[in-house]
Amino acid sequence: MPEALKNSTDMNLEKLLIKKRDRIVDKWIDSVQETYPTETVEFFRHQRNRFANPIGAAISETMGPLFDELLNGNNQQNISSLLDNMVRIRAVQDFEPSGAVAIVFLLKKVIRDELKKEDIEKDGLFEDLLEFESRIDYCVLLAFDVYMGCRETIWKNKLDDFKKRPFVTEGVDKCLSYMLKQEQKQGKGTEDCCNSCGLGE
């Protein structure tokens, strides 16, 4: 993980980001919410009860601490834990991997929009902004790891549940592809086991 900001120029960038922290976080939350359908966005923004709106609450409660961790720049475990709050939801919702981790990339545009170009050039902060953006890139990689871990868990649970079904017996009937065909054809499937899963052997 990249080290925390520490030289004098970096401190200027850090102070600027801290000064604008609330506006940046609010805009980041809005950007994440807008990845959902319009009617869902309206629900997120008007339903404040976290029990009635757990996804909206997770977005609101995660983006701020995640931004703070990116500013600190040195606690991978905390960042991964915060990412898990958001990415796990999107993995269950069947977002594509790109859509699941895009929530982190959105922060780049928010920061660039909030930090005016002339201020960045005037204060000599462009290189330091690129360094901070490299943290965001690293965070995206962590988000992808979290997403893949969640998807693996989901499929493992589905497989375990499938194996527990009462019609799972011996021999050819243990082949998952065969059982799926049987379900789809309502008991009129072929007797040929594909053996691709190795369970029908």
- Placement of tokens 């757990």 in the chain: 54
Interval 70-79: pLDDT, tens: 998 768 889 9
State the pLDDT confidence band at 115, using cuts at 50, 70 and 90: confident
Tell me the three state secondary structure of residue 148. helix
Tell me the average pLDDT across 51-65: 92
CA separation for the pair 79, 85 (Å, rounded): 10
Mean pLDDT taken over the chain = 80
**pLDDT over 70, % of the chain:** 74
Fold classified for 8-154: Globin-like (1.10.490)
Q: What is the DSSP string of 46-74?
A: H---TTT-HHHHHHHHHHHHHHHHHHH--
Q: Are the beta carbons of 147 and 97 closer than 8 angstroms?
A: yes
In this structure, are residues 100 and 147 in contact, taking their beta carbons and an 8 Å threshold? yes
pLDDT band at 105 (very low <50, low <70, confident <90, very high): very high
Given a cut of 60, is residue 4 above it in pLDDT? no
State yes or no: pLDDT of 93 exceeds 80: yes
Top-confidence range, 68-77, 116-125, 127-136, 157-166 = 127-136
| In the chain, where the domains are located | 8-154, 165-201
Q: Over 90: is that where the pLDDT of 178 sits?
A: no
Q: What number is the average pLDDT over the span 160-180?
A: 62
The pLDDT of 94-104, averaged and rounded, is 87
